[in-house]
Chains A and B, each alone.
Chain A
Amino acid sequence: MRFLSLPIAATSLVLVFFTACSESDPSKSLLITGSSTVAPVVADAAQRYEKENPGLRIDVQTGGSSRGISDSRSGLAQLGMASRALKADENDIDAETIAMDGVCLIVHKDNPVKGLSRDEIAAIYQKKKSNWAEFGASNADIVVASKAEGRATLEVFLGYTNLDSADIQADVIVGENQQAIKTVAGNPNAIAYVSIGAAASEAKAGTPIKLIYIDGIEPTTENVAKGTFPITRPLNVITKGEGTELSRAFLEYLKSDKIRDIIETHLYVPVSQ
């Protein structure tokens, strides 16, 4: 029987482990889900908060702004993350802005185009203008990269260009910011829109992409902070009702100056107090 006792012991150990895990104490643990744009900031802040308050456990999971909203609404997560403002029909939950982000347009580093206006961007994304020669660059078809349905970045972009998602005539549809950046880096004729934070840090790391001016405004975190850059969005933490003591305390922490450096490391803009 010895050959059976080992697996049985192992199984019971695993079962005990899972039971221990599922017994989460709401005053000691916190689950946060949602936008992959907000998550890096919240995850870093959570790590620091756990270090300052030993014995606490904060889990940060990504899955998009919509998940953040639905999870906090259903109570599955105590806090949600969303990289867009709440819609009018989402009035049963509250949003607290912890930082601001800009959405910028990127082209390949070798593309001579310096900037585009809102009308030009809308024309490119509807394929009304489809050649770079129309913008003073070399004669080549523009490869239009857009984001998949439901992404917060797409919604922000549609809001800015005043387009419907059915108007967009894309050559490539991408998911994550990274996929958009890699697409442009590998294609001299591509254009895409991504979070300024993600684009600026990649460009700084030597990826061959260029952040272009929009309506004559340079896409920098300073201009997002000043409010002059035209495509911005709030990075929100979503709450429903009162929340637990820990969720309220952590939300206050996220809004405080204590994580200002974390927000700046991720190239987002802290909300001025």
Chain B
Amino acid sequence: MSRSLSDCILKSSLGFAALLSGSVIVAVIAFLFHEAWPALSSGKLSHFLTDLKWQPGSDRDPQYGIAPMILASILVTLLASLIAIPLGVGGAIFQQFYAPTFLGNIHDRLLELLAGIPSVIFGFWGLTVLVPAINKWHPPGQSLLAAALVLALMILPTVGLTSRSAIRSLDPGLLQGAAALGIGRPSMILRVILPAAFQGIGSGCLLAIARAVGETLAVVMVCGNIAQIPHSVFDPVRPITSTIALEMGYASSDHRALLYASGLILVVMTGALVGWQSFRREPLTPSQKG
């Protein structure tokens, strides 16, 4: 077979693969719109933002307030990131600059293992170990804090591994230059390494945050699922994903359309993160500028 023919076949099959993966997400969003349309068009959307409670199954007083759930999704993600990002970035720096090679390798393997653990395992661990422990401290245990801790564990490998590769891929000349100038290790890390790797670490963090927004299975087990505005980290909350997981299989008509509409909100939130990431991507990395 001629070289150009095989190239042509390869090109078209690769193009097909790319087209398929790209069009699937468009199809999914179109499906979400289609299913959510009854809620979007009927004016139910105003209920969405103005109702204070979420009680779609009530015969006496059905309410469809989603604001507490949007807030819960944001709070859980924010708190989890505040825990996971310092741990992940700190671990990556330690692993690259301080740890002996064998310890660094163990650290790497453990993070990779953590990344591979299914979320249902994290959920059961949270429910049977973490929640009772928090309950002793401040009942009921199922809480914003429990959800954030479990999520932090789940996104920690993403933050840690991407930070590590961001630091590792820095121009070695940068480190040699710093060393030649006689800069000590602490200020080299703070003033040279972190600013230079900021772009890569930031991308990893955004990836982790996007995952945290969408994580469902583990969160639904430990967050308590009460749709309310929390007054402390010990209050139960209900992120959007939990609502969809708990109620989608059981909902019909308006309720169902509203769940799809809340799914759309989730996609918009993740979309905003992705958009922000591509916006902040600069043409030159700091190391090239220097």
The residues of A with any CB-CB pair to B shorter than 8 Å are 1, 4, 63-67, 70, 140-141, 143, 148-151, 154, 164-166, 170-175, 179, 182-183, 185-187, 189-190
Residues of B within 8 Å of A173, CB to CB, are 224-226, 236, 238, 246
In the bound complex, what is the Cα–Cα distance between A149 and B252 (angstroms)? 11
In B121-158, the 8 Å CB interface with A consists of: 124, 127-128, 131-132, 135, 139-142
Residues of A within 8 Å of B238, CB to CB, are 173
Q: Does B102 contact A (CB under 8 A)?
A: no
A247: shortest Cβ distance to chain B, in Å? 23
CB<8 Å pairs between A and B, sample of 29: A4-B6, A66-B251, A70-B252, A143-B140, A149-B56, A149-B255, A150-B251, A151-B250, A154-B57, A164-B59, A165-B59, A166-B60, A166-B61, A171-B139, A171-B140, A171-B224, A172-B140, A172-B226, A173-B226, A175-B245, A175-B246, A179-B127, A182-B127, A185-B128, A186-B131, A186-B132, A186-B141, A189-B139, A190-B140
In B177-230, the 8 Å CB interface with A consists of: 220-221, 224-226
In the bound complex, what is the Cα–Cα distance between A140 and B245 (angstroms)? 31
Residues of B within 8 Å of A185, CB to CB, are 128
- Name B250's contact: one of A4, A140, A148, A165 (CB within 8 Å): A148
In the bound complex, what is the Cα–Cα distance between A63 and B135 (angstroms)? 31
Residue of B nearest to A65 (CB): B250
In B218-272, the 8 Å CB interface with A consists of: 220-221, 224-226, 236, 238, 245-247, 249-252, 255
The residues of B with any CB-CB pair to A shorter than 8 Å are 1, 6, 9-10, 13, 53, 55-61, 63, 124, 127-128, 131-132, 135, 139-142, 220-221, 224-226, 236, 238, 245-247, 249-252, 255
Say yes or no: B135 contacts A187, CB within 8 Å. yes
Known: A164-B59, A165-B58, A183-B127. A172 touches B251 (CB 8 A): no
Known: A141-B139, A148-B246, A149-B247. A174 touches B128 (CB 8 A): no
Residues of A within 8 Å of B236, CB to CB, are 171-173
A166: shortest Cβ distance to chain B, in Å? 4
Residues of B within 8 Å of A172, CB to CB, are 140, 142, 224-226, 236
Most buried by A among B53, B226, B238: B226
In the bound complex, what is the Cα–Cα distance between A56 and B278 (angstroms)? 54
In the bound complex, what is the Cα–Cα distance between A182 and B130 (angstroms)? 12
Say yes or no: B6 contacts A1, CB within 8 Å. yes
B138: shortest Cβ distance to chain A, in Å? 11
In the bound complex, what is the Cα–Cα distance between A175 and B120 (angstroms)? 14
Residues of B within 8 Å of A187, CB to CB, are 131-132, 135, 139-141
In the bound complex, what is the Cα–Cα distance between A67 and B252 (angstroms)? 9
Residue of B nearest to A188 (CB): B135
A185: shortest Cβ distance to chain B, in Å? 8
In the bound complex, what is the Cα–Cα distance between A183 and B220 (angstroms)? 12
